[in-house]
Amino acid sequence: MKTWLKILAIGLLFYLHIGGMLFDVPRLNIVNETVRATYFHVPMWFGMCFLFSLSLYNAILYLRKPLAEYDVRAEAFAHVGLAFGILGILTGMIWANYTWGSPWHGDPKQNGAAIACLVYLAYFVLRGSVENHEQKARLSAVYNIFAFAAMVPLIFIIPRMTSSMHPGSGGNPGFNMYDLDSRMRLVLYPATAGWFIVGYWIASLRIKIKTIEEKLLDLEHETSR
């Protein structure tokens, strides 16, 4: 990543924490000041979807042209995307504890998010259960496509078709309808951009580490011959 992008990411997250804690927010019944969780919870989900999309893209590239670099990138983006998904669930649980009375209500959105994370956890279980590198990469790429195809309805479609308390689901209005005014957009949009860049940054570091590890392994095999 370019240095200026790293500086931008740090600046955006610094702005997020200052603005998220100190800037004015709408005064809503029940939600009150907990609406500030929007700045952390929502960008985490957007970041997760962004990273899973990049993982899917590289998985498709691997199936079209089986190069090891595509497999490494697909795994790295899926790994960081899953971390963002877990953070999204945890921040949502904290918010739900204040607005719904308990951290877990079995809401369709919560259940769908948990199942989606389990689906991607199975992706890494699959990778760990196959020793042959080429076979592992190909099976993982195929599974990656199905995992993304399962994630979309679990998080974005099924909750809208069922009775859900989550904003934007089950007939409930989304944030734009009642709490995301111009003041909050000044923080939410930069926060989303910041988490996108940070997620990509972390994944790029994992890609570099994995690439170096594979080169060292190849060097060991050559010297042992």
Give DSSP secondary structure letters for 6-46: HHHHHHHHHHHHHHHHHS-----TTTGGGGGGHHHHHHHHH
Q: What is the pLDDT of residue 57?
A: 97
Q: Name the phi and psi angles at 177, rounded to 5.
A: -80, -25
pTM value?
Answer: 0.88
Per-residue confidence (pLDDT) for residue 180, from 0 to 100 = 58
- In the chain, the amino acid numbered 86 is I
pLDDT of residue 18: 92
Output Rg (C-alpha) for the chain, integer angstroms. Answer: 20
Contact 207, 1 (CB under 8 A): no
Predicted local confidence at residue 167, as pLDDT: 62
pLDDT value for 185: 86
Token digits for 73? 């990138």
Consecutive 10-residue runs of the chain (225 residues): their mean pLDDT?
90 92 78 81 93 97 94 96 95 86 84 94 94 93 96 88 64 48 84 95 94 82 71
What is the separation of C-alpha 152 from the centre of its chain, rounded to a whole number of angstroms?
Answer: 12
Which pLDDT score, from 0 to 100, does residue 153 have? 93
Q: How far apart are CA 108 and CA 21, in angstroms?
A: 29
